Amino acid sequence: MPPIHSSILGILIAGVFSVSMGSLLWWMLHPPKAVSMAAARIKVAVDAIKVILVPIVGAEYSERGIELACRLGQAQNALIRLVHIVEVPLSLPLGADLPVQEAAAEKVLATGKEIVATHQMAADTRVERARHAAEKISEMVEKESISLLVMGIRPKVGGVEGLIGRTSEMLLRRLPCEIIIDANPFKQAA
């Protein structure tokens, strides 16, 4: 029988080969858990969220809606579109000069943009005019490929008929995208 020569390099290569083959066999014998089609479909739907619309009014509940939208869209690096809608009374034309409301809207949007910036995300801000906020929000969702609408609602609006507010109720009835409404259960500071 001829003598067998071994070298450190040969032993090292054999060791790496054995560990690699062992790891491959372990991986093949321990497949990941199967995911149902429903779970996979939901994950794909959530991953498809690219633009989140957040109507804001400058109240704490509205700012909580911005925070929630940022957390929901962070993994997808979604664009957060903040909009403040100036509701113009029927007695005035839509293009009427409303400097006080416009200035307040810009201040509200600046605060919203700061909240989004704390998450290192992109924010698109704008002031829109409408007779009713729900009409403008519906129009924006339909025309701008909005994936998700996130809005905070004020606590304790009133009786049963005013449980979630007029704008929220109108949007729930007719909006063609997913809506998340954040209702803070904690007492708001006055």
Q: pLDDT exceeding 70 applies to what percent of the chain?
A: 81
Residue whose token pair is 């954040």 = 182
Q: Which helix (H) or strand (E) holds 63?
A: helix 60-73
Mean pLDDT, residues 161-185: 67
Residue boundaries of the structural domains of the chain:
45-183
Q: What is the CATH code of the structural domain delimited by 45-183? A: 3.40.50.620
pLDDT per position as a tens digit, 118-140: 999 989 999 999 888 888 888 88
Q: What share of the chain is helix, strand, coil (3-state, %, to 5)?
A: 45, 20, 35
Cβ atoms of 149 and 175 within 8 Å: the answer is: yes
Minimal CA–CA distance to 56: which of 14, 107, 7? Answer: 107
pLDDT for position 43: 65
Surface-to-core class of residue 183, CB atoms within 10 Å of its CB (0-12 exposed, 13-18 middle, 19+ buried)? middle
pLDDT of 107 above 90: yes
pLDDT per position as a tens digit, 74-104: 888 889 999 999 888 888 888 888 889 899 9
pLDDT per position as a tens digit, 35-77: 777 776 666 666 678 889 999 988 888 888 899 999 988 888 8
- Mean confidence (pLDDT) of the chain: 82
